[in-house]
């Protein structure tokens, strides 16, 4: 959508400041009382009036320095306000609006990139959207949800809500879920539309879809959860840059954690998938995906090492393994250099450490070493750092940075971004109610 009057931006900033300020006063201590069990609504009207308001307000500064492009920085505010009815005879409904506005408006041209064409990208465009609007019905162990909704499957590697960006990714979908079998969740999703993080003036805007997702997760084994999935993605020919992301992916994953000694547990994940063209795709390819991850964790610390492979079909154009509706920022480094897999494929050898510190601080550090699956060439490396402070149950602050260094000799067809050193930095305050 196009820019709105200045008062919309001011209102968002005021809402963020007001909610944060409201938390500075300590609550008056009171004697603990047992929570009362709410009575079931007697009518549909009662279900509507006894619902729950949800609010998420986020203020963020982002800075990007990338070789061969002008530096970019932006201060943006995001306000998400929703209302969910109480459950009535199995029915429940939810509606949620979302607004993202640049506080420093000169940085934006309305497309999610900075005003100067040669600037680095900050993918938080000015947006005013209906983020969610769904109706659900639950009976026994089954549930159906119809409408615009947030959707995350498994660890979000293939299907996610892109929660890091200001504008959340949601889906116009029918979701059927059944838990009738012991420790088993069956999920089927029909996707009619992917509401992406970009605005309607870009080629990367929302995608029309005729896609089917199947996911079966079973946790009967004491060592972890086994998940099998089939994701048949078909995007409209008319959607720019969309139709060649149509693909069919079939895979298995196993993830879990087990104690190995006092206060220490081992964590692990293995996964394999195969992918080929599907539906509207004009490509003809087959590529594979693998990941193996092993870690150790205590109550306060965790260390994880992993190796991930996104293959290609002998380096052919467009044959890199595709994850177009994933929460990509979580994987392959926070600098987001590999949102699209290079034609030569991608390998990611990574090490991640997290720590819970005094004074409600948490820290995380990651190291990534990137290469290609074809010819085993080095691409680059990345260091990611984060420090977060949780003020209380609602308000949190985050400082975060990503440092990507390209290999000077790297030649990666289909991934010009891999050649460019990039540094990103974020400061964020978030209030959730």
Residues 209-236 have pLDDT tens digits of 999 999 999 999 999 999 999 999 999 8
- The 3-class SS string of the chain reads CCCCCHHHHHHHHHHHHHHHHCCCCCCCCCCCCCCCCCCCCCCHHHHHHCCEEEEEEEEEEEEEEECCCECEEEEEEEEEEEEECCCECCEEEEEEEEEEEECCHHHECCCCEECCCCECECCCCCEEEEEEEEEEEEECCEEEEEEEECCCECCCCCECCCCCCCCCCEEEEEEEEECCCCCEEEEEEEEEEEECCCCCCCCCCCEEEEEEEEEEEECCCCCCEEEEEEEEECECCCCCCCHHHCEEEEEEEEEEEEEEECCEEEEEEEEEEEEEECCCCCCCCEEEEEEEEEEEECCCEEEEEEEEEECCCCCCCCCCCCCCCCCHHHCCCCCCCCCCCCCCCEEEEEEEEEEEECCCEEEEEEEEEEECCCCCCEEEEEEEEEEEEECCCCEEEEEEEEEEEECCCCCCCCCHHHHCCEEEEEEEEEEEC
Q: Which region among 30-39, 93-102, 336-345 has the lowest average model confidence (pLDDT)?
A: 30-39
pLDDT band for position 205 (cuts 50, 70, 90): confident
Share of the chain above pLDDT 70, in %: 84
pLDDT band for position 412 (cuts 50, 70, 90): low
R_g (Cα) of the chain, nearest Å? 23
DSSP string, 5-25: PHHHHHHHHHHHHHHHHTTSS
pTM of this structure: 0.88
As a whole number of angstroms, the distance between CA 122 and CA 100 comes to 13
Please report, for residues 137, 172, 339, 407, 413, the alpha-carbon distance to residue 64 in angstroms, rounded to integers and kept in the order given: 44, 32, 16, 19, 24
pLDDT for residue 253:
98
Q: Which region among 145-159, 262-276, 406-420 has the lowest average model confidence (pLDDT)?
A: 406-420
As a whole number of angstroms, the distance between CA 282 and CA 318 comes to 10
DSSP bridge partners of 243:
none
As a whole number of angstroms, the distance between CA 178 and CA 185 comes to 6
DSSP string, 179-220: --STTEEEEEEEEEEEE-SS-TTSTTS-EEEEEEEEEEEE--
pLDDT for residue 228:
98
Residues 363-390 have pLDDT tens digits of 999 999 999 998 888 999 999 999 999 9
pLDDT for residue 240:
61
As a whole number of angstroms, the distance between CA 280 and CA 100 comes to 32
Q: Which two tokens stand for residue 123?
A: 């993918």
Share of the chain above pLDDT 90, in %: 73
As a whole number of angstroms, the distance between CA 265 and CA 379 comes to 34
pLDDT for residue 9:
45
pLDDT band for position 155 (cuts 50, 70, 90): very high
Residues 180-195 have pLDDT tens digits of 999 999 999 999 999 9
DSSP bridge partners of 208:
193
Q: Does residue 110 surpass a pLDDT of 80? A: no
Work out the average pLDDT over 345-369: 97
E strands, 219-262, in order:
225-233, 247-261
pLDDT for residue 14:
37
pLDDT for residue 204:
72
As a whole number of angstroms, the distance between CA 152 and CA 53 comes to 22
Distant-in-sequence, close-in-space partners of 428: CB < 8 Å, separation ≥ 6: 58, 59, 60, 61, 397, 398, 399, 400
Cα-Cα end-to-end distance for the chain: 27
For the chain, the residue count is 433
Distant-in-sequence, close-in-space partners of 295: CB < 8 Å, separation ≥ 6: 266, 267, 268, 302, 303, 304, 305, 352
Q: How many whole angstroms from its chain centre is CA 138?
A: 26
């Amino acid at each position: 959508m196009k820019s709105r009057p200045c008062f919309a931006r001011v209102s968002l900033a005021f809402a963020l400041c007001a909610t944060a300020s409201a938390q500075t006063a300590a609550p008056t201590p009171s004697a603990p009382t047992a929570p009362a069990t709410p009575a079931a609504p007697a009518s549909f009207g009662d279900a509507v009036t006894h619902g729950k308001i949800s609010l998420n307000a986020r203020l963020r500064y982002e800075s990007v320095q990338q070789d061969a492009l002008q530096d970019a920085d932006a201060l943006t505010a995001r306000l998400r306000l929703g209302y969910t009815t109480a459950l009535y005879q199995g029915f429940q409904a939810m509606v949620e609006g979302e607004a993202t506005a640049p506080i420093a408006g000169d940085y934006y041209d309305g497309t999610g990139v900075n005003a100067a064409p040669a600037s680095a990208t900050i993918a938080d465009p000015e947006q005013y959207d209906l983020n969610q609007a769904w109706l659900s019905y639950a009976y026994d162990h089954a549930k159906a949800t119809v409408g615009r909704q947030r959707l995350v499957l498994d660890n979000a590697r293939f299907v996610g809500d892109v929660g890091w960006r200001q504008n959340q990714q949601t889906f116009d979908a029918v979701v059927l879920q059944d838990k009738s079998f012991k420790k088993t969740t069956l999920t089927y999703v029909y996707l009619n539309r992917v509401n992406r993080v970009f605005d309607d003036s870009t080629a990367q805007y929302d995608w029309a879809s005729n896609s089917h997702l199947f996911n079966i997760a079973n946790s009967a084994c004491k060592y972890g959860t086994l998940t099998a999935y089939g994701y048949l993605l078909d995007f409209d020919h008319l959607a720019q840059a969309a139709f060649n992301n149509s693909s069919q992916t079939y895979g298995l994953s196993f993830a879990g954690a087990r104690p190995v000694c006092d206060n220490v547990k081992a964590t692990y994940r293995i996964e394999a998938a195969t992918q080929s063209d599907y539906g509207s795709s004009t490509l003809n390819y087959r590529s594979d995906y693998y990941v193996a991850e092993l870690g150790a964790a205590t109550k306060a610390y965790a260390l994880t090492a992993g190796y991930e492979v996104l293959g290609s079909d002998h380096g052919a154009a467009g044959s890199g393994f595709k994850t177009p509706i994933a929460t990509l920022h979580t994987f392959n480094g926070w600098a987001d250099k590999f949102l699209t897999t290079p034609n030569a494929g991608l390998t990611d050898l990574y090490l991640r450490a997290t720590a819970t510190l005094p004074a409600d601080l948490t820290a995380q550090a990651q190291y990534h070493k990137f290469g290609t699956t074809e010819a085993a060439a080095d691409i680059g490396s990345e260091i990611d750092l984060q420090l977060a402070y949780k003020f209380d149950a609602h308000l949190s602050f985050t400082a975060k940075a990503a440092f990507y260094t390209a290999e000077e000799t790297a030649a990666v067809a289909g991934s010009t971004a891999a050649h460019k050193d990039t540094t990103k930095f974020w400061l964020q305050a978030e209030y959730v109610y």
